[in-house]
Amino acid sequence: MAAAALQSFYEQTKTLIQPSPLTLHDLSKPDIVSLVALLRNWPIDPGSAKHYWTDIQRLTSKLPSHLRNTSPLHLKPTHSLICAGHAGLNPSLIISIWSTLRGEMESSIGPFLYPIIVGAGLPAHQEYQARQLEPVLRMWQPDYDPADHVPAGRTPLPTGKEGLWAFQYNKCPACMLARLGSEKDELAALLSGMVGRLRSGVVGRRDDVRSRRVRWVLAALKLCRGGVKAADEAWVFGLELKRVRRAWKEHRKGVAVKGGFYGNQKVWTVPIAYAGTEGSEGRETPSDVSRSFHSEASYDIELIDFCQKFVPEIHTRRESDIPSFTGFTKEGVRELHSPDGSYASSEEARVNDYEDEFEWEVGSHSSTFSNTSRNAGANGGQPSNTACRSMYGGYPGYNTRRS
């Protein structure tokens, strides 16, 4: 009787001291570098797939034990969402990494970018760079169409990468991490979005990154061809996005009209980011808004005339397409600037961008966006609903209230 009780005690103690599953936040710098080097170079050409999977098996065997799946159950293909080719990896760790990055792309970066693109306005080449994540969501949402999930007044991006982000039918998070880790433009957009969205204390400095998610994307981007330069530019662009959004929010605070029949009301002004004079082909040319929100010295990437390189309509819009916030029409649109032409600096705009919630109207739809980081949840980072979630918050039409 005593022996049985003692055995039961030790079994319970063993259960209590079992380590918790490894997550992204537990990884060291060498761990991240080792995994990033493995989860890349996704084979677009079917002929190179066999060589790719051979390399995966070889690299997996060289990983430290805590990054590998040491359980004999990994030999069973139904053990987890991890596919047979990536079964040697630690499943809980891979799911944690993918859930974190998927949450950034699906729930966080889009709502952060939307008021910058539609409200503040960005130069054409910066807007194109910031919107690179739009088609990526199709990788885990089978009915997702990027054409239905673009900012107001914009058209889908002419990326020239049709089929690149096709739905991942095996739903393996390691496969999707490898696909994402192979594309420089999308990694750069993800990095700049996180640097801009997260608090500076959370992100850290470029030479001393604190955030594990930022460190992962930064390491993956640097392994791409030309990735070191792209990483530097994406980091600077992220800081510029942070500054632009703070300046825009500070301006929105200072345009209130007090009193009157309807009480205290805020008067909104709609910036004209790309309203110019009509060209010879009946289109409008974009106008530079750098004097409004973009300091000329803060972003030194070479300007490119995207209106000639890509479809002109993607970067231009007529005044009639500009969304109305409180009844402003194209006759009543005003440039977004103060009377003396000055703007609040990032130091003056003391705003918490990490847990901010704001409400505004786009056309006839009212949306509430929240920048609070959300975990992608269980089920291996897979969507829990059947509707397509938009990158920019809510669902198509941007008429879903989110808390």
The tokens for 171 are 């739903």
At residue 328, the 3 state secondary structure works out as: coil
Helix axes 91-103, 212-222, angle to 10 degrees: 90
- Cβ contact 120:293 at 8 Å: yes
Contacts of range 100-103, beta carbons closer than 8 Å, 24 or more positions apart: 100/24, 100/213, 100/375, 100/376, 101/177, 101/180, 101/190, 101/213, 101/216, 101/217, 102/140, 102/176, 102/376, 102/381, 103/373, 103/374, 103/375, 103/376
Which amino acid is residue 393, in one-letter code? G
Band of the pLDDT at 81, cuts 50, 70, 90?
A: confident
Note the pLDDT of residue 192.
96
3-state secondary structure of 394: coil
Pairing of strands 204-205, 265-266: unpaired
Say which residue, 344 or 68, is predicted with more confidence. 68
In the structure encoding, which two tokens stand for residue 128, read together?
């194109």
Q: 96 pLDDT exceeds 70?
A: yes
Per-residue model confidence (pLDDT) at position 262: 55
Task: For residues 357 and 268, give the distance between their C-alpha atoms in angstroms, rounded to a whole number.
Answer: 17
Residue 348 has pLDDT above 50, yes or no: no
Question: Parallel, antiparallel, or unpaired for β 265-266 and 357-362?
Answer: unpaired
Residue 293, burial from CB neighbour count under 10 angstroms (0-12, 13-18, 19+): buried
Confidence band, pLDDT 50/70/90 cuts, at residue 12: low
Q: Which of 40-49, 169-178, 245-254 has the highest mean pLDDT?
A: 169-178
Q: Give me the residues paired with residue 401 across strands.
A: 368
Q: Which residue, among 262, 344, 312, has the nearest Cα to 124 in the 3D structure? A: 312
pLDDT above 80: residue 22: yes
pLDDT score at 93: 94
- Report pLDDT for 249: 82
For the entire predicted model, the pTM comes to: 0.64
Average pLDDT over residues 275-301: 37
Q: Are 338 and 251 in contact (CB under 8 A)?
A: yes
pLDDT at 202 over 60: yes
Report the pLDDT averaged over residues 278-300. 38
Half-sphere exposure of 158 (CA within 13 A, CB side): 10
pLDDT tens, residue by residue, 112-121 = 998 898 888 8
Residues with Cβ < 8 Å from 125, sequence gap 6 or more? 301, 303, 304, 306
The model's pLDDT over 26-35, given as tens digits with 9 standing for 90+, comes to 999 999 999 9
pLDDT at 377 over 80: no
256-257 vs 208-209, strand pairing mode: unpaired
Token pair in block for residue 36: 């990033």
Q: How confident is the model at residue 242 (pLDDT cuts 50, 70, 90)?
A: very high
Distances (CA, A) of 56 to 37, 61, 94, 223, 279: 10, 9, 14, 16, 53
Confidence of residue 158 (pLDDT cuts 50, 70, 90): confident
Residue 382: predicted pLDDT = 46
pLDDT: which is higher, 106 or 339: 106
- pLDDT recorded at residue 6: 57
Q: Which amino acid is at 342?
A: S
User: What is the DSSP code string of 285-323?
Assistant: PP---HHHH--TTT--SPP--HHHHS-GGGG---GGGSP
Q: Report pLDDT for 144.
A: 87
Q: 250: closest CA among 323, 353, 329, 164? A: 353
pLDDT of residue 383: 42
Higher pLDDT, 261 or 384: 261
